[in-house]
């Protein structure tokens, strides 16, 4: 099960683990193809060129495998899609809930995944 | 950098204007604040766009963007319009307080967006108890008590759809009557999980990690009470995104751009298309029609110079 975006996809928990451990900086948007999630995928697509040191991925929220993000303690208070998570050297350093603007995303990338 | 035409907004009207202007050999820049496709990407399935039986808003946006790029438009998305000068022969815009672009003509295709309540705590708790999309976030509220704000068709229909998940839905509305269709009102009233708080409004969201309570003002008495709640869904209509042009372009009392039959605004060489302008019908078909007219008139305008 993968999402129909132009981003690279994560389908399984094992793949998620591989991605965050094999890349220094990772941003994953875990959502559906809905109005709050699509703008975030779009922004990520746009940022891929500008932030070559960050690996951008999506993951389907409804897949049982997405428990790795859904159940992260940093996401425990989240009640809005998408759950967007940022990893540095395999460690979750920031998480946001619901739609975010390009300015909000780039400020996290600049601060946490420099 | 200089362009013939700069288009503000990459919804269906802006992308169509880009396609037509670029095909007419104009040098075109499209700048967009949000997601390419505008409100189209909010639409799960579009079934009333002639020639296409059914398509997701996301897919249609991607196709229109590709067409505009193929015909030679430069597209900058996720940018902020920080300065704008529309008077005189040379118009200019500045984006992200960094880059300035000039053009002989401008097309404003900035569309509309959902209205927010603009009360304390709304930004802070977005995604943590405040939502604008029932299909996206409804299932986070299984067996919980929630509020729906609004009194039009969207609020009434979404309140009914949210009863699939929530144990109780309270509709808060500022007037003593609803603006929706009678069948939507009847359906909401007949639903045992829905109750109503009329002539009231939320004045503040309270909580620590997520929304726990709201302060609700009774608009008749001025009394303010606190209500414990797990979530609030806000559906209070759409507004044209024209604040940026106030004082430069003539707007009507609802903020819609006033245009003539050629879609030209009160500023020569500045055109407006789609949901941002005065119109009674706001659809993708009408937006693309406007984009076509505005682009062709803008091309005429620059060719006359
Ligand atoms: C939930 C929903 C479902 C809908 N379903 C349908 C349907 O099934 N069929 C149908 O025909 N219509 C539907 N519509 C209506 C249709 O989507 C709109 O009429 C149409 O998208 C309007 O197009 P537009 O280009 O004028 O504006 P928009 O689509 O609103 O696009 C405007 C763009 O301009 C950008 N912008 C705004 N201000 C600025 C600025 N200052 N600088 C730069 N960029 C800016 C915005 O970010 C946006 O990307 C639906 C609308 C909604 C909300």
The parent domain of residue A63 ranges over 8-112
The pair of three-digit structure tokens given for residue B145, joined into one six-digit string? 């008590």
Q: Among B34, B64, B110, which residue has the most ligand 1 atoms within 8 Å of its CB, making it the best to mutate?
A: B110
- Supply the pLDDT for residue B103: 98
Backbone angles phi, psi at B147, to 5 degrees: -120, 145
| Residue B241: predicted pLDDT | 96
The pLDDT value given to residue A108:
98
CA distance B255 to B174: 21
Determine whether the interchain pair A34/B44 forms a contact, defined as Cβ–Cβ distance below 8 Å: yes
Q: Which parts of chain A have pLDDT scores under 70? A: none
Q: Does domain B2-113+238-304 have CATH number 1.10.1740.110?
A: no
Distance CA B3, CA B14 (A): 16
Q: What pLDDT score was predicted for residue B56?
A: 85
CB B79 to CB A80 under 8 A? no
Q: Which of B4, B73, B89, B136 is catalytic?
A: B136
User: Quick one: pLDDT at residue B57?
Assistant: 87
Other beta carbons within 10 angstroms of residue B110's beta carbon come to 31
Axis crossing angle, helix B153-162 with helix B182-190, rounded to the nearest 10 = 30
* Pair type for strands B145-149 and B168-173: parallel
* Superfamily designation of domain B116-234: FAD/NAD(P)-binding domain (3.50.50.60)
What is the C-alpha separation between B139 and B133, in angstroms, rounded?
11
CA-CA distance, B213 to B204, in Å (whole number)?
9
| Residue percentage of chain B with pLDDT more than 90 | 84
The per-residue pLDDT for B259 is 98
Cα–Cα distance for residue pair B64/B81, rounded to 1 Å: 22
Interchain contact B235–A (C-beta under 8 A): no
B136 has catalytic annotation? yes
Q: Determine, yes or no, domain membership for A3.
A: no
B-chain residues near A33 (CB < 8 A):
44, 56, 58
A50: CB partners within 8 A, 6+ apart = none
Residue A88 lies in a domain: yes
Q: Is B116-234 in the same CATH topology as B2-113+238-304?
A: yes
Q: First-to-last CA distance in chain A?
A: 31
Assembly ipTM: 0.70
Helices (H), chain B: 12-23, 57-70, 134-137, 153-162, 182-190, 284-304
For the stretch B242-294, pLDDT in tens is 999 999 999 999 999 999 999 999 999 999 999 999 998 889 999 999 999 99
Any idea what the Cα angle at residue A109 is, between residues A105 and A111, rounded to 5°?
115
A13 three-state secondary structure:
helix
User: A84 to chain B: nearest residue by CA?
Assistant: B127
Q: What is the pLDDT of residue B237?
A: 87
Q: What is the mean pLDDT of chain B?
A: 95
Task: State the pLDDT confidence band at B136, using cuts at 50, 70 and 90.
Answer: confident
* CA geometry: angle B177, B169, B138, nearest 5 deg: 120
The answer to whether position A35 is within a domain reads yes
Give the position, in ligand 1's atom list, of the atom nearest the Cα of B113: 30
Does a structural domain hold residue A1? no
Is the distance from CB of A28 to CB of A17 less than 8 angstroms?
no
C-alpha distances out from residue B61 to A7, A24, B10, B49, Å: 16, 33, 9, 13
Tell me the two tokens of residue B67: 């067409």
**A102 in a structural domain:** yes
Look at A67-71, B133-137, B298-302 and tell me which has the smallest mean pLDDT.
B133-137
Separation in Å, CA of B243 to nearest CA in chain A:
18
- Which position has the token pair 């790029």? B69
Q: Is the Cβ atom of B18 under 6 angstroms away from ligand 1?
A: no
pLDDT at B135: 82
pLDDT, average across residues B27-41: 91
Say which of B96, B133, B139, B176 is annotated catalytic. Answer: B133
For range B49-78, the mean pLDDT: 93
More confident residue, B73 or B79: B73
Q: Which of B233, B232, B257 is nearest to B243 (CA)?
A: B257
Domains contained in chain A, number? 1
| pLDDT average, residue stretch B203-219 | 96
- Reduce the DSSP state of residue B195 to 3 states and report it: strand
Residues B276 and B262: their CA atoms lie apart, in Å, by 15
Residue A59's DSSP bridge partners are A30
Domain ranges for chain B: 2-113+238-304, 116-234
Whether B73 is catalytic? no
Q: So what's the pLDDT on residue A51?
A: 97
Q: Is B126 on the interface with A (CB under 8 A)?
A: yes
Q: Which of B12, B17, B38, B95 to mutate to test the pocket of ligand 1 (most atoms within 8 A of CB)?
A: B38
Residue B137 burial class via C-beta count within 10 angstroms: exposed 0-12, middle 13-18, buried 19 and up? buried
Is the per-residue pLDDT at B44 higher than 80? no
CATH classification of the domain holding A46: 3.40.30.10
Predicted local distance difference test score (pLDDT) of residue B46: 86
Which has the closest alpha carbon to B4: B14, B15, B24? B24
């Amino acid at each position: 099960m993968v999402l129909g975006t132009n981003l690279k996809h994560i389908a399984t928990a094992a793949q998620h683990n591989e991605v965050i451990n094999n890349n220094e900086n990772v941003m994953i948007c875990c959502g559906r193809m809905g109005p709050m999630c699509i703008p975030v995928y779009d922004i990520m697509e746009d940022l891929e060129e500008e932030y070559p040191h960050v690996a951008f991925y999506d993951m389907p929220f409804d897949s049982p495998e997405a428990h790795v993000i859904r159940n992260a303690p940093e996401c425990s208070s989240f009640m809005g899609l998408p759950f967007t998570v940022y990893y540095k050297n395999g460690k979750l350093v920031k998480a946001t809930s619901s739609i975010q603007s390009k300015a909000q995303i780039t400020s996290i990338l600049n601060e946490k995944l420099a | 950098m200089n362009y013939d035409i700069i288009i503000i907004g990459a919804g269906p009207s802006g992308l169509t204007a880009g396609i037509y202007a670029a095909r007419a050999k104009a040098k075109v820049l499209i700048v967009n604040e949000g997601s390419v496709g505008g409100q189209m990407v909010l639409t799960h399935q579009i079934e009333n766009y002639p020639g296409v039986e059914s398509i997701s808003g996301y897919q249609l946006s991607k196709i229109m963007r590709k067409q505009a790029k193929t015909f030679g438009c430069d597209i900058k998305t996720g940018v902020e319009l920080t300065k704008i000068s529309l008077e005189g022969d040379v118009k200019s815009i500045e984006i992200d307080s960094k880059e300035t672009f000039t053009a002989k003509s401008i097309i404003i295709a900035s569309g509309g967006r959902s209205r927010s309540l603009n009360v304390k705590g709304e930004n802070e708790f977005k995604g943590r108890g405040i939502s604008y999309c029932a299909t996206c976030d409804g299932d986070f509220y299984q067996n919980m008590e929630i509020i729906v704000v609004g009194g039009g068709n969207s609020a009434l229909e979404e309140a009914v759809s949210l009863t699939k998940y929530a144990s109780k839905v309270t509709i808060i509305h500022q007037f003593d009557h609803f603006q929706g269709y009678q069948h939507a009102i009847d359906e909401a009233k007949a639903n045992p999980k829905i109750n109503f708080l009329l002539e009231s409004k939320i004045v503040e969201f309270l909580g620590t990690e997520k929304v726990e309570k709201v302060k609700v003002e009774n608009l008749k008495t001025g009394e303010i009470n606190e209500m414990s709640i797990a979530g609030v869904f806000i559906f209070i209509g759409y507004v044209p995104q024209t604040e940026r042009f106030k004082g430069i372009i003539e707007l009507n009392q609802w903020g819609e751009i006033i245009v003539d039959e050629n879609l030209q605004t009160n500023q020569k060489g500045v055109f407006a298309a789609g949901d941002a302008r005065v119109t009674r019908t706001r659809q993708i078909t009408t937006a693309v029609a406007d984009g076509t007219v505005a682009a062709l008139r803008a091309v005429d305008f620059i060719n006359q110079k």
